[in-house]
Structure 1
Amino acid sequence: MKIIGLMENTTRDEELVCEHGLCIYIEFGDRKILLDTGGSGSFVSNGEKLGVNIEKVDMVVLSHGHLDHGGGLLSFFSSNNLGEVYLKKEAVKDYYLDKNGEKIYIGLNKDVVEDNFNRLQFVDGFTQIDKNIFIVTDILKEYPLPQGNNNLYMEEKSEEEEPRFIKDSFQHELILVFKVEDGLIIFTGCAHNGIINIIETIKSAFPEENIKGIVGGFHLMIEGKWDGLCMEDEYIDNISQKIIEEGIGKVYTGHCTGENGYARLKEKLGDKVEYLSTGAKINI
């Protein structure tokens, strides 16, 4: 498996664009896949510089319905004529960030969704989308969720009442899973449902398989302060302990994990964890 970070909050290469968002390119067998599309179309130009032709991508898996993960959908559709986008139906609802009492829209562009509706594949439940490639949608919630979820909302509408804002339930989040020769590789966009809950969900869905690696964000930061922690050290240490207990060999994380959150994970996990930045190239 070959992995390239096409978009993340940081980069070590001045020729590449970085932004608050996530787009991961994955080669698995003969399949070329994107997890998310970042917050804009800049992942396309990054791909050109990194040797990734977006026109050849077979499919996009959208981890959840936030703009920093689906903001590049228009650029994908413009650059690629055939690839389908897999997502939960809840991902097209209206999502907001509460910033000092002001509700700021952070959902997908509705025009882009409507204009390309024929290329959307909605998944609900455990779904195999290709040989040894799976989407898991029903995420257990037995362990605490990230506190950074507290200022994230969804708009609830009905014919009888005025629209109202309620806390985001994150039913729009999914997990992308690859079955490799010696275990599973899990991909998560932000782990809004909590990375420990995601690990438990995958253990339940694949009881005979070990988790070899995890790639993606863990949502350990405060919205708007990307180097700050939104979780206490104990919460992060519990994640590290879970990774060790489950014998997970490697973790590549970034984006909403935040620099301080990553530093705490690194302190506990050492070589088991690496930062996934724009331009990072990984072979698993």
Structure 2
Amino acid sequence: MSKLNIREADRLEVTILVDNYTDMLVTESNDICRRPHLFLPHVFLAEHGLSCLIKVFSGVEEHTILMDAAVTPACLFNNAKLLKVDLSKLEAIILSHGHPDHFLGLVELLKFIHEEEGKEIPLFLHPEAFLERRINIPAVGVPSTMPALEEAVLKASGAIPIKSKKPVPVAGDLIYTTGEVERTTAFEKGFPWAEAKIDGNWVADPFRDDQGLVIKLKGKGLVVISGCAHAGIINTVQYAKKLTGMDKIHAVLGGFHLTGGIFDPLIQPTIDEMRRINPDYIIPMHCKGWKAINRFAEVMPEKFLLNTVGTTYVLEGEP
């Protein structure tokens, strides 16, 4: 496999527009983690969704993209307004995978961009993000169908879908998608209750569309950003290392999908492997789960950062 030709970034800023957790009293900031200061009646909204504004810099060059678009436009636009983020200026949107907690706000966002700027915007995603999907919980007995992406609706709203199973460069080659993530761990086996309709049949969802982002920070190593990491957060990080030929991980942030009783057995092996990877910073978000986030905080306190809606992570490369 040829290595990705990722350009080195001087600085990376990741602002969490939407996540599951908000706390306006978490205000402690430092050079890496910058918390907003809001006062009532202004409040950030949280929901079971994810949306991250990503800015990457190289010299005087600057690019702004969005990964995922949350569940509700109300949540996404409220938080962007409070953070003074102009979503109409985005140059690209990346979808981590085809689950509605990552795309239901997308159509309204696309329409807003088109109305404000009169432009269409590239939307990077895997072809299987359009699959029909459902959750089939054995204790419930009746599958629950999930909303699905519709390509025609996306195009009519101003998206230019760019579908790829392989890594794709964005932001002037300063960011790459991972494309389909190789599955190499013994314990990351996906989401047992998730099903997808493939070739006319409902089967266990393989989540081939699950992808992350990779950034090479000058002199610091790789930054890996996940959506839900249905492919496994360890698989995702290890695949990013393989794609780039780099071993050093500076930061891992995003959803780790360790919430719920069926994922409890995965928490400790995930932490064990993350300790071996030894990133400088670990920032679990979205579907990480209460038990997992507390275990990461306990076991990796010098590396762990608690995420809240509105936080901006500023990662600087070497001068």
TM-score (norm 2): 0.80
| Alpha-carbon distance, 1:112 to partner | 3.0
Are 1:96 and 2:134 an aligned pair? yes
List per-residue Cα deviations over 1:201-253 (Å, max 9, x = no partner): 1121111352111110100012xxxxxx43235x3232223222223110111
Q: Secondary structure at the match of 2:166?
A: coil
- For the pair 1:237 / 2:265, whether they are aligned, the reply is no
* Residue equivalent to 2:104: 71
Give the fraction of aligned pairs with identical amino acids, expressed as a percent.
22
1:106-153 superposed Cα distances (whole Å, 9 cap, x missing partner): 243426335347511112212222322111113121214556701001
**Alpha-carbon distance, 1:57 to partner:** 1.2
- Equivalent residue for 1:270? 301
Distance in 1, matches of 2:190 and 2:248, equals: 29
Match of 1:194 in 2: 232
Matches within 5 A, 1:7-46: 7-13=18-24, 15-29=43-57, 30-41=62-73, 42-46=75-79
Q: Which of 165, 174, 181 matches 2:211?
A: 174
Amino acid at match of 1:103: P
Q: Contact 2:100/2:146 (CA < 8 Å) preserved in 1?
A: yes
In 2: Cα distance, 1:192 partner to 1:145 partner: 12
Moved more, 147-156 or 164-173: 147-156
Structure number with the bigger relative contact order (C-alpha 8 A, sep ≥ 6) is 2
Q: Residue 195 of structure 2 aligns to which amino acid in structure 1?
A: Y
State the 1:50 CA deviation: 0.9
Secondary structure of the structure 2 residue equivalent to 1:119? strand
Within 1, Cα distance between the matches of 2:157 and 2:96? 18
In the alignment, the residues of structure 1 paired with residue 186 and residue 288 of structure 2 have an alpha-carbon distance, to the nearest angstrom, of 16
Give the Å deviation of 1:59. Answer: 1.1
- Distance between the aligned counterparts of 2:76 and 2:305, measured in 1? 21
State the one-letter code of the partner of 1:175.
Answer: G
User: When the two structures are superposed, what TM-score results if normalisation uses the length of structure 1?
Assistant: 0.89
Please say which of residues 67-76 and 145-154 is displaced more in the overlay. Answer: 145-154
Over the residues paired in the alignment, what is the CA RMSD in angstroms? Answer: 1.9
- Which 4+ stretches in 1 moved above 4 angstroms? 145-148
Cα shift at 1:183: 1.3
Residue 255 of structure 1: aligned partner? 286
Letter in 2 for 1:11: T
State the partner residue of 1:140. Answer: 182
* Matched letter for residue 105 of structure 2: G
Partner AA of 2:302 in structure 1: D
Bigger shift: residues 99-108 or 53-62: 99-108
Query: Match of 2:95, as an amino acid?
Result: L
Count of matched residue positions in the alignment of Structure 1 and Structure 2: 272
C-alpha distance in 1 between matches for 2:92 and 2:148: 18
Do the aligned residues in 2 keep the contact of 1:39 with 1:70 (CA within 8 Å)?
yes
Answer whether contact 1:26 1:33 (CA < 8 A) is retained: yes
User: In the aligned structure 1, how far is the partner of 2:237 from the partner of 2:159?
Assistant: 32
Unaligned runs of at least 5 residues, structure 2: 1-11, 25-41
Give 1:254 shift.
1.6
Evaluate the alpha carbon distance shift between residue 138 and residue 109 of structure 1 in structure 2; reply closer, same or farther with a 3 A threshold: closer
Q: 1:148 to 1:267 in 2, by over 3 A?
A: farther
8 Å contact kept, 2:187–2:269: no
| Contact 2:190-2:231 within 8 A present in 1 as well | no
Distance in 2 between the 1:107 and 1:169 partners?
Answer: 18
**Amino acid in the other structure paired with 2:14:** I
Residues 230 and 76 of structure 1, relative CA distance in 2, 3 Å threshold: same
- The counterpart of 2:145, out of the listed 69, 84, 105, is 105
Using the alignment, how far apart are the partners of 1:197 and 1:145 within structure 2?
10
